[in-house]
Structure 1
Amino acid sequence: MRAALFVTCVNDALYPRTGIAVVRLLERLGVGVDFPAAQSCCGQPQYNTGYRRESEPLLRRTAEAFAGYPYVVTPSGSCAAMVRTHYPRIGRLAEREGRGPGLAALAEELVPRVFELTEFLVDVLGVTDVGAYFPHTVTYHPSCHGLRGLGLGERPQRLLRAVKGLDLVELPDAGECCGFGGTFAVKNPDVSVAMGTDKTGNAVGTGADVLCGADNSCLAHLDGILRRRGEAVRTLHLAEILASTEEEPLT
């Protein structure tokens, strides 16, 4: 089996270790991983800020970059939700308004091949125990796009519970938004920080060593608040925990 890694802008620019962890994890599970170099931004920042037309070329670029791959795997519920929920709408509207011929078809063809990482592991590969080892206490923050946009449910927690040495503790009010929301954090910084402060306070209260998530955009926001408050809890993407083993521990 082969899959393409849709690494996302945030991971490529700021968290390359997450992309490396995904490759390491999938290859350990017998999946060959390709990285199409033509991939770029999925267009979510533009779309969410109201620049819908500016997101249309990025839809086309993304669809063409991943053409021919049976599986496109991304360590981001946010970007997966952009493709699966909004690409078809963007394509249909563009064609209705006389722009972007074939854009709707490109979107519809791409959608069923795009999987958030935990979906791919649990639903496609059929695994929850990926052979990971991570001897720490962890609490999990479900991002809004993963929880409500994709309906990931308990998939991330099932994977974490199967990690050897890991003690998973429940995060109070886990379903509440962390306050990042992409450009929401830029437009509404005071509200965003207040929401993030509530979320990080709950994380600290669990006594966990690590606040884990499946979206580095959320984790970047929460990590900034934790650091400014001088808290010892560190943030870490789920993929990096799942890629860690006794033979190859996370470094």
Structure 2
Amino acid sequence: MTVALFAPCYVDQFYPGAAVATLRLLEALGLDVAVPDGAVCCGQPMANAGFAQAGAATEAAFERTFAPFDVVVTPSASCAGHLRAHVPGAGGRTQELCGFLHQTIGLDRVAALGARWDARVGVHVGCHGIRGLGLATPTEAGPDADGPTGTLRHDVVAALLGTVAGLDQVELARPDECCGFGGTFAVAEPAVSVAMGRAKLADHLGHGAQAIVTTDLSCGMHLDGLARRAGERLPVVHVAQALMTGVGVPA
């Protein structure tokens, strides 16, 4: 199996540590991972803004760059969701990191890394991950037979973070509520976006979270900015960084 890492543009520019953690995580699991040049964006921002044609060249560059690889892994559910839905030449081979680890690698191999992080964290799985990629069952699907209403079922991210010793995942009132970012939505509807983000932050802080772990640092960027402007210290890290804490890349 040939594996390539795709670091989305915002990760590359603003959160390179998450890309490094993803690469080291995959390598620690015994994979030979390539990081090819040539694709800088998946085309999602243009498509979401209603200008799909403007992103066509970007999507074509992605297809050319990753054509030689069996699997393309990315630390972004929103980018993976866009590629799988709109870039058929490569989307079928593109997997979001958490889904890839859970379905292809397996929890036992992830647990064998021996990660440890003594912290109480809130988990934010982005809307694309829950409703687009099935990383968890959304609460609107109905009450969970094994837990109270509001509990995410089949939670891939929680299962992965459960392999990290010392990590306490807080139970949120609305675990799958949108953070309000939504890409260009945050620009077009700033008041609504900020209100949703503040409500999400209040859920995490109200349940004693010391940090937020997320599948999408686009959401994380939004929440982190709101937290800092409110004078709250609530670091936001990617799942890959959490899984590598104590192994080689600290959260």
Instruction: Give the structure-1-normalised TM-score.
Output: 0.88
Q: Does 1:148 align with 2:148?
A: no
Q: SS in structure 1 opposite 2:115?
A: coil
What's the secondary structure of 2:250's corresponding residue? Answer: coil
Q: Does 2:57 align with 1:74?
A: no
Spell out the pairing of 1:135-174 with structure 2 (5 A cutoff).
135-153=118-136, 154-174=155-175
1:41 maps to a residue whose letter is C
Equivalence for 1:102:
none
Tell me the CA shift for residue 131 of structure 1: 2.5
**In 2, Cα distance between the equivalents of 1:233 and 1:62?**
34
- Partner of residue 148, structure 2: none
- Which whole-Å CA distance do the structure 2 matches of 1:27 and 1:249 have between them? 13
Q: Does 1:112 align with 2:92?
A: yes
Give ranges in structure 1 of 5+ residues lacking alignment.
Answer: 88-106
Name the residue aligned to 1:179.
180
1:221 is matched with 222
CA contact (8 A) 1:138 1:168 kept: yes
1:85 is aligned with what amino acid? Answer: A
Between the two proteins, the alignment pairs up a number of residues equal to: 230
**Equivalent residue number for residue 150 of structure 2:** none
> Stretches of 4+ moved more than 6 A in 1?
none
Cα distance in 2 for residues equivalent to 1:233 and 1:171: 15
For residue 86 of structure 1, report the CA deviation from its aligned partner: 2.4
Percent identical: 43
2:31 maps to: 31
Q: What secondary structure sits across from 1:176 in the alignment?
A: coil
Deviation string 1:12-34 (CA, Å, 9 cap, x unpaired) is 00000000000111111101111
Which residue matches 1:40? 40
Q: SS of the residue aligned with 1:138? A: strand
Q: 1-side partners of 2:241 and 2:91: how far apart?
A: 26
Secondary structure of 1:135's counterpart equals strand
Distance 1:134 1:238 in 2: 12
Q: What is the CA deviation profile of residues 153-181 of structure 1, one whole-angstrom value per residue up to 9, with x for unaligned ones?
A: 11111011111111111122111110000
* Residue identity opposite 1:113 in structure 2: R
Paired with 2:171 and 2:7, the residues of 1 have a C-alpha distance of: 28
Work out whether 1:134 is the aligned partner of 2:117.
Answer: yes
| Normalised TM-score (structure 2) | 0.88
Query: What SS does structure 2 have at the residue aligned with 1:41?
Result: coil
AA aligned opposite 2:237? L
Find the counterpart in structure 1 of residue 141 from structure 2: none
Structure 1 counterpart of 2:40, one-letter code: S
Cα offset for 1:187?
A: 0.4
Offset of residue 249 of structure 1: 5.5
- Equivalents in 2 of 1:235, 1:217: separation in Å? 11
Distance 2:238 2:186 in 1: 20
C-alpha distance in 2, partners of 1:238/1:151?
Answer: 16
1:58-111 CA-partner distances (Å, limit 9, x unpaired): 111101110110110000000000001123xxxxxxxxxxxxxxxxxxx2x322
